[in-house]
Structure 1
Amino acid sequence: MQVFNVKNNVYYIGVSDRGLRVFDIMMETKHGTTYNSYLIKEEGGVTIIDGVKAGFTDKWLDNIRSLVDIKDIKYLVVQHTEPDHSGAIPALLALNPNIEVYGSFMAMANLKEINNAPFISNVIKPKQELKLSERQSLFFYPVPNVHWPDTIITHDPVNAIAFTCDFLGQHIAPQQLLYSKEPNKKIIEEEIKLYYDAIMAPFKSDVLKSVATLKSLDVSMVLNSHGYILDTKEAVDWAINNYIKWSTVNKSEKLTVTVVFASAYGYTRSMSEAVISELEKASALVHVFEVPRDDLATIVARIEESDALLVASPTFVGDGIKPVYDVLNSLNPVMCFGKYFSAFGSYGWSGEAVRNYMNRASELRFKKVDEGFKVRLKPSEKELEDTRLYARNFIMKIKAELNK
C-alpha cells in the first residue's frame, strides 16, 4: 500500500498483508488485511496514530520517512496495543526515544511489556486535549472492549475525522483504500459483517456505548485500522447503523429459556419434552433445538437473547457429545455471564455428560441453578415426573432470584 494524503495534513502510512489467510488463529481472512496507520503533519510537530505488525516494520518506517524525518515525530497515539498495531512501535521508539506516547492506562501498561524499554508514557483522561498547534488539537475518548479494554477513539475536529482503530474495520487488502472509490460495495458489506461477528459481537453493549460516543462527535470520515477508510459521511453513517442493528439484542419481556438436546434412542428426547412442557406451563418463552440437526449460528443467537440455557444429551464413552460441546464452545464468558444454566440427560453406563456440561458452564461463567439431573436408560413414569419436578424447580429458582 502506498503512502497517500487522506485529507489536508493527514496521511496514510499503513501497510498491506495480502497473504494473510487466518487472523488471530481463528478468523478466516480470504482477502488478506491492512494494518492502517496515520501521520499528521502540523507546525508544532509530527503525530503518528497507531503502529503496524512487527513483520512490516521496515515498510512502515520507510513510509514515515517518505514524509518526514523520524526525529521530527513528537507524538505517538497508541489507540490499542494488540500486536498487529503495536508490534513495530519498539523500532520507532528506538530510533526516536523522545517521542511522547499517549494512550489509555491499559495501553501504556501493555506497551511497557511490548517495548521492554523505557519510553515517555502519557495516560490519557476522557476528552483530554492534545494540542498539536494553535489551530489543531486531538481529543481522546476511551471506548473499552471494542475489542480490547485498552481501546480509545481519537477525534480530530479540525478535519472532522475519527481515528477508531479496530472499530468499524474490515479484514481486506484492496488496491486502494477509500470507500467512496470502491465500485463493488458488496465486498465491503460482507467483510465488515464478518469482522463484526468475529471480533466485536461478544461485546455488544460496549459496541453500543462506543457508537454513542462516536455519534456525539463531528465526524465525516472514519480512519480505522483495517481495510477500507470510511471517507464520506454516508459511509460512516452506514457503518454505524449496521453496528447498532447487529448489537441490538431483541430480548422478550417473558423469561426466555433455550433448550438444546440430542437423543440417540428417544430417552433424552422424552426427558426434554417433559422439561419443555413444564417451562411452557410456567409461562416461559422456550426456544428448542435438536443437535446436530439445527443450525449452530441460530442456536447461539437464541442463547444470546435468552435468560437461561438447558442442554441435554446421553453420555458417550464417559463424556458429553460433540454436537452439544460445539454449542458450548461457540459461546464465551462475556455472552454467558449472568445467564442461568443446567444440564440433564439419560445415560447407559456411567453418566458423566451432565457433570461435564456443568463444569463447562462454570468456565463460561453461567449461573448454575443446580447440579443437573440424569436418569439411567429409559425414564420410567416416576422418573419422568422427577424430570418435571427438576424443570419446575429450575424455573422457580430463576424467578425467585430475578424477583429479589
Structure 2
Amino acid sequence: MTFIVREIAEGVILFRILNRVTEKFENFWPIPRGTSYNFYIVRGKDRTALIDGADIRFSDEFFRALEERIKVEEIDYVITQHAEPDHSGTLAEVMRRASGAELLGTKQALAIGASLSNYPLERAREIKDNERLELGGKTLRFVVAPMIHWPDTMMTFLEEDRILFTCDLFGSHGASEKVYFDEDYFELADYYASILMPFPAMVANALQKVRALEPRILAPSHGALHRHVDSILRTYEDWASWKPKGRALIVIGSQYGNSEILAREAADGFREEGIEATLVDSSYAHPDDLLALTLESSAILIVSATHNGRPFLGVRYYLDLLEEYKPKNRVFGVIGTFGWGGGAGKYIKDFLESLKIPVVAYMEAKGKPGERELREARELGKLLAIEAKKLLK
C-alpha cells in the first residue's frame, strides 16, 4: 500500500503517503523505516479546505488518495502551512484543477512557494496570526510559528474538534499505516534532532502557543498523530530547553583500536558513577543518530586518534554537527591518541571551547594504552559522570 486514508473526526480526513523508497530525507538524513507525508481535508457545511500537499515525486499517489474522498475541483481553500517542496510540490496542480479555490498562507510561504512550487499568487491571500476561516460548523484558526523550521511556517487549529495541524512540529519518520504514535514505532527523536534541534527558542515559543490552545489531537505533516498531547509536549519542552538526562555518549574515532580501548575504560568509569554510556563508532554513525544521542545525554566524551595532525575524519564530522546544532547544558570530555605526533586532542578541545562548550576532562595517550593510561581513562569517565550529575540537580 502506498497511502492510507482515515477519518480522524467527523468531516476531518487524514491522507498519508507512505514513502518506502527514498533512502534519505532531504537527501541526507537516513530513513531506514521510511517516512510519510500527511495532508488533510476539513469539510464544513459550506466550504472545504485542504491543508498542505506533498512532494511532487508522489503526485500520482497524492491525487489518487485525495480522489478516494473528494473531487479536487470541490476544494474551496488550499492552505499552505509551509512551502518546503515536500509540503508544497503538488499544490500548484491542485490549484489548477480546483479553479475556484483560494490559496492561503503566510506572506513568506506564498513568496517561497511561488519560487519553489509555482504557486499562483493571483489567487492567493496572506494569512495573519490568529486569523480565522469559517467553513460552516468548522472554524480554522491560523497560528503563525516562524522557524519551525523555515520562516514561513504556521499551524492550523480546528476549534470545534480541537485538532491542531502542526506542520513539521511533532513530526516523525516511519512509513507506517498506523495513525497514532502509541500504535507503532515512529522515529521521533531522530526527526526532531535533524529538523528542529537548531531552533530551540522558536520551538519553545511554538510550544507555548500549543499549550494555550489545549488541543485534543496533534496532527503533523510527517508521521504519527498524537492523542497523548501532554506527554509529547513535555518531551518537546525537555528537548527545547536542553534538559539534561542521566545518560552519556562516547563518540569514537579509532583507526587501530587504541582509542576504542580507552573509550571502553571511560565507559566503565561512567558506570561506576551510575551513568550508562552509549559508545558510537563515528565511522558508521548516522548523523541524526549522533544528534539524537547528543540531545539525550548530559555528558559527551569524544575519543579520537590523530589523523594528519587532526582528529579522525568521523570525529571531525561530528564536530561540524556540534558547530551547527549548538548543544547546551552538557559537559564534554576529550581523549586524544597518537602514534608519533599528536594533535587530535588539542584540536577537539580548542574547537569545543571556541563554541563555548565546556571541556571538563582531558587527556592524551601515545601508542598502545598501558595500565596508567587505562586508569586515567577510567578516572576521566568517573569525573565526567560526577560533573554530569551536577546538571541533573
TM-score interval, smaller chain? 0.5 to 0.7
**Shift, 1:121, TM fit:** 2.0
The C-alpha deviation readout for 1:96-134, integer Å capped at 9, x for no partner, is 34321111222111101123363322222111112223x
| Equivalent residue for 1:237, pick from 230, 237, 257 | 230
**Shift, 1:4, TM fit:** 2.6
Gaps of 5+ in 2: 245-250, 256-278, 329-335, 358-393
**Shift, 1:83, TM fit:** 1.4
Match of 2:318 in 1: 327
Give the SS at the match of 2:76: strand
Match of 2:18 in 1: 16
d(CA) in 2 for partners of 1:63, 1:187: 22
8 Å CA contact 1:204–1:247 kept in 2: the answer is yes
Match of 2:91 in 1: 89
Give the SS at the match of 2:4: coil
8 Å CA contact 1:202–1:332 kept in 2: the answer is no
Match of 2:378 in 1: none
Give the SS at the match of 1:3: strand
Query: What residue identity is the alignment partner of 2:191?
Result: Y
Give the SS at the match of 2:321: coil
The C-alpha deviation readout for 1:276-311, integer Å capped at 9, x for no partner, is xxxxxxxxxxxxxxx999999599849x989xx9x9
Query: What residue identity is the alignment partner of 2:86?
Result: D
**Shift, 1:312, TM fit:** 12
8 Å CA contact 1:140–1:155 kept in 2: the answer is yes
The C-alpha deviation readout for 1:226-266, integer Å capped at 9, x for no partner, is 22222x3xx22221111112222248xxxxxxxx99999xx
d(CA) in 2 for partners of 1:313, 1:227: 36
The C-alpha deviation readout for 1:327-357, integer Å capped at 9, x for no partner, is 32222435279xxxxxxx9999999989998
8 Å CA contact 2:190–2:292 kept in 1: the answer is no
Match of 2:131 in 1: 128
Match of 1:177 in 2: 179
1:165-314 correspondence to structure 2 within 5 Å: 165-179=167-181, 185=182, 187-188=184-185, 191-230=187-226, 232=227, 235-250=228-243, 297=290, 301=294
* Distance verdict in 2 for CA 1:325–1:159, change over 3 Å: same
The C-alpha deviation readout for 1:203-234, integer Å capped at 9, x for no partner, is 2222222111111103111111122222x3xx
Query: What residue identity is the alignment partner of 1:132?
Result: L
**Shift, 1:319, TM fit:** 5.6
Match of 2:259 in 1: none
8 Å CA contact 1:14–1:52 kept in 2: the answer is no
Q: In the comparison of the two structures, how many residue pairs are matched?
A: 334
8 Å CA contact 1:9–1:41 kept in 2: the answer is yes
d(CA) in 2 for partners of 1:229, 1:298: 23
Match of 2:120 in 1: 118
* Distance verdict in 2 for CA 1:348–1:166, change over 3 Å: same
Give the SS at the match of 1:175: coil
Query: What residue identity is the alignment partner of 1:63?
Result: A
* Distance verdict in 2 for CA 1:263–1:5, change over 3 Å: closer
1:99 aligns with 2:80: no
Give the SS at the match of 2:213: coil
The C-alpha deviation readout for 1:159-182, integer Å capped at 9, x for no partner, is 110001121121112233244xxx
Gaps of 5+ in 1: 180-184, 252-259, 265-290, 338-344, 369-404
8 Å CA contact 2:337–2:345 kept in 1: the answer is no
**Shift, 1:326, TM fit:** 3.1
* Distance verdict in 2 for CA 1:43–1:26, change over 3 Å: same
TM-score for both structures, normalised by structure 1: 0.65
- What is the root-mean-square deviation of aligned Cα atoms in Å? 4.7
Match of 2:142 in 1: 140
Match of 2:248 in 1: none
Give the SS at the match of 1:162: strand
8 Å CA contact 1:90–1:114 kept in 2: the answer is no
8 Å CA contact 2:307–2:313 kept in 1: the answer is no
The C-alpha deviation readout for 1:362-386, integer Å capped at 9, x for no partner, is xxx9589xxxxxxxxxxxxxxxxxx
Match of 2:63 in 1: 61
